[in-house]
Amino acid sequence: MALVERDARIVNPLGMHVRPGAEFVKVANKFKSSVEVHKDGAVVNGKSILGMMTLAAECGSSIRIRCEGDDAEQAMAALLELVAAGFHEMHLKPQKDGA
């Protein structure tokens, strides 16, 4: 059983809101390995949308992803690719106050 840990930076302008959180959970659930996400001392289940939402990971923040299981390497590669791609939201811009 493999254990893999890697750091990733949230790069999409809107950070980890509902849609990217759901995308992360969707990808994580394709694998048998357990997935944990760490941020600022908090540890959540990367296969739980509620857990991912509690992280409140803003653009520029750093998270640590931990995968453990027989397909941990594949899970990690898929999750890192998703995060690095900005959850396919790089075209979105934060709204200014009063907009």
CB 38 within 8 A of CB 19: no
Catalytic residues: 17
Domains (ranges, CATH) in the chain? 2-88 (3.30.1340.10)
Which of 24, 16, 21 lies closest to 81, judged by CA? Answer: 24
Helix (H/G/I), strand (E/B), else coil: 24: helix
Report pLDDT digits (tens) over 39-61.
Answer: 999 999 999 999 999 998 999 99
pLDDT tens readout for residues 6-37: 999 999 988 888 999 999 999 999 999 999 99
How many Cβ atoms are within 10 Å of 15's Cβ, its own excluded? 19
**Where would I find the beta strands (DSSP E) of the chain?**
2-9, 34-39, 42-45, 62-69
